[in-house]
């Protein structure tokens, strides 16, 4: 077993780094932590890292990603986020749904068609991370 602290980094191929950067900062409040050149940007929500690399999203010869997810603290936060996404013209991939395990989620598309889940998950949504320990 590889000891780890959870999935905290994801890299996406995007057609337009600036457009993707705008989406993730505007929709999820991420901040740019480093942009070494116009072909890549690194964003964070404070406890994770999202790398955006200019490339050909959906390239059949490349690795596929089903979706990425952002955990939210409460069911009410998912419901509020869903209403916000609808009101702000964000492309909805799958509408809000309450799942049998107590989780609640919906899915949206980013500008490159990547599917992004907004998720309340009872076993991890209530976890908090202290600075320096995350």
* CATH code, domain with 3: 3.10.180.10
Q: Are residues 53 and 70 in the same domain?
A: no
Q: What is the secondary structure of the chain as a DSSP string? A: ----S---EEEEEES-HHHHHHHHHHHH--EEEEEEETTEEEEESSS-EEEEEES-TT-TTS-----EEEE-S-HHHHHHHHHHHHHTTPPEEEEEEE-TTS-EEEEEE-TTS-EEEEEE-TTTTT----TTT-
Of 23, 39, 57, which one is at a domain's C-terminal end? 57
Q: Give the model confidence (pLDDT) of 63-99 as tens digits.
A: 667 789 999 999 999 999 999 999 999 999 999 999 9
pLDDT class of 9 with cuts at 50, 70, 90: confident
If one counts the domains in the chain, the total is 2
Q: Are residues 42 and 75 in the same domain?
A: no
Q: Are residues 50 and 71 in the same domain?
A: no
Domain that holds residue 7: 1-57
pLDDT class of 59 with cuts at 50, 70, 90: low
- Asked whether residue 7 is domain-assigned, the answer is yes
pLDDT class of 134 with cuts at 50, 70, 90: very low
């Amino acid at each position: 077993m590889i000891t780890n602290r959870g999935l905290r980094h994801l890299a996406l191929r995007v057609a337009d780094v600036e457009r993707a950067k705008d989406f993730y900062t505007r929709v999820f409040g991420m901040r740019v932590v480093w942009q070494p050149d116009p072909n890549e940007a690194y964003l964070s929500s404070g406890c994770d890292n999202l790398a955006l690399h200019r490339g050909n999203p959906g390239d059949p010869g490349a690795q596929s990603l089903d979706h990425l997810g952002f955990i939210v603290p409460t069911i009410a936060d998912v419901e509020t986020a869903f209403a916000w996404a609808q009101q702000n013209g964000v492309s909805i991939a799958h509408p809000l749904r309450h799942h049998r395990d107590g989780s609640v989620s919906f899915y949206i598309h980013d500008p490159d068609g990547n599917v992004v889940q907004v998720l309340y998950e009872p076993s991890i949504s209530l976890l908090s991370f202290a600075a320096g320990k995350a």
